[in-house]
Amino acid sequence: MKAIRFHEYGDPGALRYEDAERPEPAEGEVLVEVAATSFNPVDAAIRAGYLQQIFPVSLPHIPGIDVAGTVAALGAGVTRWSVGEKVIGFLPMVPDGAAAEFVTVASEILAPAPTTTPLTHAAALPAAAQTAWQALMEHADLRAGQRVLINGAGGGVGGFAVQLAKRAGAFVIATAAPRSAGTVRAQGADQIIDYTSAGPADALTEPVEAVLNLAMVTESEMAALTGLVRDGGVVVTTATPAVGDADRGVRAVGMQLRTDAGQLEKLAKMVDAGELSIDVSASYPLSAAESVHELSAAGRIRGKVLLIPAR
Ligand SMILES: NC(=O)c1ccc[n+]([C@@H]2O[C@H](COP(=O)([O-])OP(=O)(O)OC[C@H]3O[C@@H](n4cnc5c(N)ncnc54)[C@H](OP(=O)(O)O)[C@@H]3O)[C@@H](O)[C@H]2O)c1
């Protein structure tokens, strides 16, 4: 099969589009024919070798932690899925991923794909939407009527976070560059702050119950974000570490996305119910993975980007 692999850590040029052995599903695993994977910033960090201690991948490694595809074969003992079913999944970081024509996946981490979107688009859902859900609903415990500031709303996670926060009945304040402002507004943001011209602290007139930070900002910018949280509130971050404020009862959570197939299934059902939309900003052939990583390094990726194997 064709796959993207890197044989050594390095810059985007380390990615090769080449032949790799098609994996066989072991006991409890499913072989998925990949319709698409989507790019996530962690793909670039793993490729560059920054996360070797946390995610010790074996080289050569196939990246790609999101998958949407079709069940192609079942390993021994798998009864939950049938060949031909459309599935999605957030894959573990260390084994080979979905930037390939086929990937093997533990059957219990897969969920049925949404039926109302192209299967390829469903690859944008797993990691990003689950991050948004876990951040807002589990860590921030966001409630109707609360004010939430989403910093970095223009990105892949942000697009889902804005929608989910709005759906929860919150007043949603989003930071976004002009290139993302229209999308973020359409996703339901009540107030948009152009972070390229003003910091959130300058634009906000009253505090928020929760901050969700999705951007790599400086420590002092992160401290300023914490300062915008009302006493007893929370700052959740997926990027720059946050420090809480014990005197004011402000909690800080550095979240780590966890696999939850049941939750992913609920998110897919929300897509089918018209409660959550999947916005894909660009699709590339799998062979263009190096270019996508280069665009990311140059800050030129917006929202979710798909990589699609040739058929
Ligand atoms: N810990 C975890 O479990 C976990 C899980 C998922 C993601 N993450 C991390 O969370 C971060 C967000 O993920 P993602 O997939 O959404 O990344 P992404 O698609 O690259 O989005 C980040 C967005 O932030 C915006 N941005 C950049 N600099 C900013 C700044 N100074 N202030 C405000 N906004 C800024 C940009 O949008 P515009 O310029 O277009 O507005 C950019 O698209 C990444 O660092 C990722 O690695 C962590």
Q: What is residue 221's predicted lDDT score, i.e. its pLDDT?
A: 96
Question: Beta 86-90 vs 66-74: how paired, if at all?
Answer: antiparallel
Q: Which of 238, 240, 280 to mutate to test the pocket of ligand 1 (most atoms within 8 A of CB)?
A: 238
Per-residue CA distances from 285 to 164, 288, 310 (Å):
30, 6, 7
Ligand 1 nearest-atom number relative to CA 41: 47
Q: Give the torsion sign (CA, 196, 202, 205, 211).
A: positive
Clarify whether residues 89 and 154 are in a common domain.
Answer: no
Task: Give the separation between CA 33 and CA 70, rounded to whole angstroms.
Answer: 5
Clarify whether residues 68 and 178 are in a common domain.
Answer: no
Task: Give the separation between CA 13 and CA 76, rounded to whole angstroms.
Answer: 38
Q: What is residue 311's predicted lDDT score, i.e. its pLDDT?
A: 80
Q: What is residue 210's predicted lDDT score, i.e. its pLDDT?
A: 98
**189: domain range?**
127-254
In CATH, what number is assigned to the domain containing residue 137? 3.40.50.720
205 touches ligand 1 (CB under 6 Å): no
Of 13, 33, 105, the closest CA to residue 310 belongs to 33
79 touches ligand 1 (CB under 6 Å): no
Clarify whether residues 156 and 247 are in a common domain.
Answer: yes
Q: Given 3-state DSSP classes, what are the helix, strand and coil percentages for the chain, each rounded to the nearest 5?
A: 30, 30, 40
Contact 90, 108 (CB under 8 A): no
* Minimal-distance CA residue to ligand 1 atom 46: 41
41 touches ligand 1 (CB under 6 Å): yes
| Cα 85 to middle of ligand 1, angstroms | 32
- Domain presence at residue 262: no
Q: What is residue 201's predicted lDDT score, i.e. its pLDDT?
A: 87
What total of structural domains would you count in the chain?
2
- Domain presence at residue 159: yes
Clarify whether residues 154 and 92 are in a common domain.
Answer: no
Clarify whether residues 214 and 180 are in a common domain.
Answer: yes
- Domain presence at residue 212: yes
* Minimal-distance CA residue to ligand 1 atom 39: 177
237 touches ligand 1 (CB under 6 Å): no
- Domain presence at residue 266: no
Element at 247 (helix H, strand E): none
Q: What is residue 199's predicted lDDT score, i.e. its pLDDT?
A: 86
Ligand 1 nearest-atom number relative to CA 176: 41
| Cα 155 to middle of ligand 1, angstroms | 5
| Cα 157 to middle of ligand 1, angstroms | 7
| Cα 94 to middle of ligand 1, angstroms | 22
Residue numbers of the chain with a pLDDT score lower than 70: none
Clarify whether residues 55 and 164 are in a common domain.
Answer: no
Per-residue CA distances from 33 to 98, 99, 150, 185, 277 (Å):
9, 11, 35, 35, 24
- Domain presence at residue 269: no
| Cα 261 to middle of ligand 1, angstroms | 23
* Minimal-distance CA residue to ligand 1 atom 33: 152
218 touches ligand 1 (CB under 6 Å): no
In CATH, what number is assigned to the domain containing residue 82? 3.90.180.10
- Domain presence at residue 111: yes
Task: Give the separation between CA 171 and CA 259, rounded to whole angstroms.
Answer: 28
